[in-house]
């Protein structure tokens, strides 16, 4: 029956554990897979992001460049000089490349202009054709070749005006084919020194066909630095995630194993309690039967029977009282009534209660003189000390030497119960203060108990702001020490 119970409990815990495993591992594996893909794609993603960012800026710059050309043409129409204009001459006998543009310019109003790009023998040039009033009366068209090297020099300035805090360099880049007239522009571009990497490029429309604007970030591989930083961050986050999962897993496992142990302790406790209840109940039934059958003949025998009955009933009620006590403490229903108490007075009360229990051993009491009074609930504290004394009697051999000592300890008072019993084994030392826990040695197994006494004592002492300690040597004895703060 019991084995069955344990197996099903174990199964429950295993099931909970498997659920936990699935619930945590599956999403984390998915997350890691996602992370790995993200890490692998990081470089491409950074490059795409950079290109998108700079494309938008290049479009702005493109408009600025075209506006700047319009300004240059406007300066020509007003007869002003402009650094972008190489020279100004009247358009005469229009060269074939400009013939069609010249016709369109001829119908422009005065002050109007046209921007034209030409390509002759692979050489690209840009012109502004400006319609102006002729000095001799009438109208004429002026032709102004544009200085593209000067324009290239202005592009960074235009960019600077629009994007003052920009890290990238913006440049005008010439068409790929080698063009003699663009040598100056090429030189300029070369001088600007391009030890960066172009992250975005936008072709320019007429009259600058073939030319492009480029955004260049410093360094050999700007995406690499960003990608490296992001990758490191991903990996760090993944490591953090796993550390978190690991810690959570560990903590959950600990809780599960605690819950499992506690549930086993409870099972043991129920078995124990049933046994504890059965022994006095059997005696009660036996003595009651003896009396009912009239097997006790002499008045002496009858009296003995009645005495046994009452002592067994007493044992039962004590057991029940202990259980109720624990449940009151657990649920927080037990209130402490703290009163200023002199230590000798407390020990006297304990001595009276101890004698009333008629235990098979006495103890020696030592009180250091001049102890300060304590602020305690006398009944509760007496219960704690009596419980320790009771354990000392229970867990010592036939030659019992038990001492109760009260002395000063630091700022408080220590009440110690010392015995010459078997001591508590190292593996049990921490656990004996846990509820329902009973030592696993032969002596504890063969002694009556619920595993609640020390747990109740610990709770009561802690409710007084004190603590309970154990000093023990296997084979030599134990000292349980209650440390209480003074009033
Ligand atoms: P119980 O005595 O009902 O088992 P306790 O909480 O009082 O419960 O004690 C818990 C366990 O601590 C005991 O089962 C026993 O193994 C151990 N113990 C308590 N007091 C002593 C002592 N004086 N000497 C040796 N072992 C002790």
Q: How far is the CA of 192 from the centre of ligand 1 (A)?
A: 88
How wide is the angle at C-alpha 417 spanned by C-alphas 415 and 423, nearest 5°?
140
Q: Kindly tell me if the per-residue pLDDT of 405 is higher than 90.
A: yes
Q: Tens digits of per-residue pLDDT, 235-285?
A: 888 888 889 888 988 888 888 888 888 888 888 778 777 877 888 888 899
Q: Kindly tell me if the per-residue pLDDT of 1 is higher than 50.
A: no
Does residue 291 lie within any of the structural domains? no
Mean pLDDT for the stretch of residues 182-211: 74
69 touches ligand 1 (CB under 6 Å): no
346 touches ligand 1 (CB under 6 Å): no
Q: Which pLDDT value is given to residue 368?
A: 95
pLDDT band at 2 (very low <50, low <70, confident <90, very high): very low
Q: How far is the CA of 432 from the centre of ligand 1 (A)?
A: 7
Domain final position from 219, 251, 285: 219
Domain final position from 203, 219, 235: 219
Q: Kindly tell me if the per-residue pLDDT of 103 is higher than 70.
A: yes
pLDDT band at 190 (very low <50, low <70, confident <90, very high): low
Q: Which pLDDT value is given to residue 175?
A: 81
pLDDT band at 180 (very low <50, low <70, confident <90, very high): low
Q: Kindly tell me if the per-residue pLDDT of 185 is higher than 70.
A: no
468 touches ligand 1 (CB under 6 Å): no
479 touches ligand 1 (CB under 6 Å): no
Q: Which pLDDT value is given to residue 157?
A: 93
Q: Kindly tell me if the per-residue pLDDT of 391 is higher than 80.
A: yes
222 touches ligand 1 (CB under 6 Å): no
Q: Which pLDDT value is given to residue 402?
A: 96
Residues 6+ apart with CB under 8 A from 419: 392, 395, 396, 400, 401, 402, 403, 477, 478, 479
Structural domain for 82, as ranges: 2-88+112-117+125-130+142-219
CA dist 152 and 158 (Å) reads: 10
pLDDT band at 188 (very low <50, low <70, confident <90, very high): low
Count structural domains, the chain. 2
438 touches ligand 1 (CB under 6 Å): yes
424 touches ligand 1 (CB under 6 Å): yes
Name the more confident of 346 and 297: 346
How wide is the angle at C-alpha 283 spanned by C-alphas 279 and 286, nearest 5°?
140
Q: Kindly tell me if the per-residue pLDDT of 435 is higher than 90.
A: no
Does residue 172 lie within any of the structural domains? yes
Residues 6+ apart with CB under 8 A from 35: 234, 235, 237, 238
Is residue 214 within 8 A of residue 201, CB to CB? The reply is: yes
Q: How far is the CA of 318 from the centre of ligand 1 (A)?
A: 17
Does residue 267 lie within any of the structural domains? no
Mean pLDDT for the stretch of residues 368-389: 93
Ligand 1 atom with minimal separation from the 449 CA:
3
Nearest CA, atom 15, ligand 1 = 439
Domain holding 353: CATH number? 3.30.565.10
Mutation pick for ligand 1 pocket among 388, 420, 449, 450 (CB with most ligand atoms within 8 Å): 449
Nearest CA, atom 14, ligand 1 = 438
Question: What counts of helices (H) and strands (E) characterise the chain?
Answer: 11, 14
Mean pLDDT for the stretch of residues 161-185: 76
Does residue 269 lie within any of the structural domains? no
417 touches ligand 1 (CB under 6 Å): no
Q: How far is the CA of 273 from the centre of ligand 1 (A)?
A: 15
Does residue 96 lie within any of the structural domains? no
pLDDT band at 183 (very low <50, low <70, confident <90, very high): low
Does residue 36 lie within any of the structural domains? yes
Q: Kindly tell me if the per-residue pLDDT of 179 is higher than 70.
A: no
Q: How far is the CA of 391 from the centre of ligand 1 (A)?
A: 6
344 plus 205 within the same structural domain: no
Nearest CA, atom 26, ligand 1 = 424
449 touches ligand 1 (CB under 6 Å): yes
Q: Which pLDDT value is given to residue 9?
A: 64
477 touches ligand 1 (CB under 6 Å): no
Nearest CA, atom 3, ligand 1 = 449
Q: Tens digits of per-residue pLDDT, 125-155?
A: 899 999 999 888 889 999 999 998 899 999 9
272 touches ligand 1 (CB under 6 Å): no
User: Percent of the chain, pLDDT > 90?
Assistant: 43
186 plus 58 within the same structural domain: yes
Q: How far is the CA of 5 from the centre of ligand 1 (A)?
A: 26
Name the more confident of 299 and 186: 299
Residue 451 sits at φ, ψ, to 5 deg, of 80, 15
CA dist 347 and 381 (Å) reads: 10
Does residue 234 lie within any of the structural domains? no
Domain final position from 219, 254, 280: 219
Q: Tens digits of per-residue pLDDT, 12-59?
A: 777 877 887 788 778 878 878 887 787 778 778 888 888 898 999 999
Does residue 323 lie within any of the structural domains? no
């Amino acid at each position: 029956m019991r084995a069955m119970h344990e197996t099903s409990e174990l199964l429950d815990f295993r099931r909970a554990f498997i659920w936990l495993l699935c619930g945590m591992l599956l999403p984390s594996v998915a997350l890691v897979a996602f992370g790995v893909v993200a890490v692998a794609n990081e470089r491409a993603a950074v490059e795409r992001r950079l290109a998108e960012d700079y494309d938008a800026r290049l479009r702005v710059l493109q408009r600025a460049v075209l506006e700047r050309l319009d300004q240059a043409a406007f300066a020509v129409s007003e007869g002003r000089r402009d650094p972008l204009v190489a020279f100004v001459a009247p358009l005469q006998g229009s060269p074939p490349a400009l013939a069609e543009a010249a016709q369109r310019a001829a119908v422009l109003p005065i002050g109007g202009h046209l921007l034209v790009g030409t390509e002759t023998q692979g050489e690209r040039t840009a012109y502004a054709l400006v319609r102006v009033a002729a000095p001799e009366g009438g109208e004429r068209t002026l032709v102004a070749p544009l200085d593209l090297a000067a324009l290239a020099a202005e592009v960074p300035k235009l960019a600077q005006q629009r994007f003052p805090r920009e890290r990238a360099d913006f440049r005008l880049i010439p068409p790929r084919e080698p063009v003699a007239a663009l040598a100056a522009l090429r030189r300029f571009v070369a001088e600007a020194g391009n030890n960066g990497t172009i992250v975005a490029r936008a072709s320019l429309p007429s009259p600058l066909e073939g030319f492009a604007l480029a955004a260049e970030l410093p360094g050999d591989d700007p995406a690499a630095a960003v990608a490296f930083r992001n990758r490191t961050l991903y990996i760090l986050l993944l490591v953090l995630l796993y550390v978190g999962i690991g810690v959570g897993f560990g903590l959950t496992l600990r809780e599960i194993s605690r819950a499992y142990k506690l549930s086993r302790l409870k099972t043991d406790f129920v078995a124990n309690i049933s046994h504890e209840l059965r022994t006095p109940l059997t005696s009660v039934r036996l003595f009651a039967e003896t009396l009912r059958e009239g097997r006790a003949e002499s008045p002496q025998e009858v009296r003995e029977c009645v005495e046994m009955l009452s002592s067994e009933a007493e044992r039962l009620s004590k057991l029940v009282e202990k259980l109720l006590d624990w449940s009151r403490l657990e649920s927080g229903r037990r209130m402490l009534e703290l009163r200023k108490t002199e230590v000798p007075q407390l020990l006297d009360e304990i001595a009276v209660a101890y004698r009333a229990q008629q235990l098979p051993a006495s103890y020696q009491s030592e009180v250091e003189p001049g102890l300060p009074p304590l602020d305690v609930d006398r009944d509760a504290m007496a219960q704690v000390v009596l419980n320790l004394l009771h354990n000392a009697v229970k867990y010592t051999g036939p030659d019992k030497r038990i001492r109760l000592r009260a002395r000063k300890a630091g700022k408080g008072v220590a009440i110690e119960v010392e015995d010459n019993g078997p001591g508590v084994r190292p593996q049990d030392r921490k656990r004996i203060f846990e509820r329902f826990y009973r030592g696993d040695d032969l002596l504890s197994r063969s002694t009556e108990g619920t595993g609640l006494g020390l747990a109740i004592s610990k709770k009561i002492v802690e409710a007084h702001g004190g603590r309970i300690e154990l000093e023990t040597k296997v084979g030599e004895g134990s000292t349980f020490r209650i440390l209480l703060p003074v009033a």
